[in-house]
Amino acid sequence: MIRAAILTVSDRCSRGEAEDLSGPALAALVQTRLGGLVVAMACVPDERDRIAAQLRAWSTATASIDLVLTTGGTGLAPRDVTPEAARSVFEREHAGLMELARLRSSAGTPRAYLSRGVAGTAGTTLILTLPGSPRGATEQMEALLDILPHAVETLRGEVQDDGRPGAVPMSGRVVVHDDAGGA
């Protein structure tokens, strides 16, 4: 089971001036479509240090969180600093995940490409920064649902090989995918 945490980044929501709709929408997706467990949710203002501090806290080994989703602060507004905050926490960036999310969700709206969302890892935690609107956040999350379980299993060390011909499990397990080729 994937253990997830959701961070809403919003000045207005953090002050109680607006209701957070994106965080609960993402929580519902994690539970219903990933079969995951949301173990923590928080809301912080659009402040780089506060965002980074929460991401660091959730990506420690003792937190045991596999997936952190942020919603908000990925656009072009002057206070949108979530990607910069996340990058300061990443040990390894994984640009391909958000490129795929933007590509797949752009079929519904070309505005998907206005999101500056990033993805990366800190320890064994995968962090994805999603748009702030409920529609943008859920569409980009839905665009990744088919590959997130494998990504999390790999980060946990549960996957030793990706199913290449002749693979023998040594420390984990071999996962054979329908689309696995011989390359």
Q: Where are the alpha helices (DSSP H) in 109-172?
A: 134-142, 148-156
Domain residue ranges in the chain: 3-146
Structure confidence at residue 165 (pLDDT)? 65
Token representation of residue 83: 């990607």
- Architecture field, domain 3-146: 3-Layer(aba) Sandwich (3.40)
pLDDT at 157: 85
End-to-end CA, the chain: 30
CA distance 129 to 46: 13
The β-bridge relationship of strands 173-174 and 37-44 is: unpaired
Burial label, 4 (beta-carbon count in 10 A; 0-12, 13-18, 19+): buried
Per the CB < 8 A criterion, the answer to whether 30 and 36 are in contact is yes
Please identify every stretch of the chain with a pLDDT value under 50, giving residue numbers as ranges: 180, 182-183
- Across 157-167, b (16+ Cβ under 10 Å) vs e yields eebebeeeeee
Q: Residue 167 has what pLDDT?
A: 62
- Give the per-residue pLDDT at 182: 44
pTM above 0.85, yes or no: yes
Please give the C-alpha separations between residue 173 and each of 54, 69, 178, in angstroms, as whole numbers.
32, 27, 16
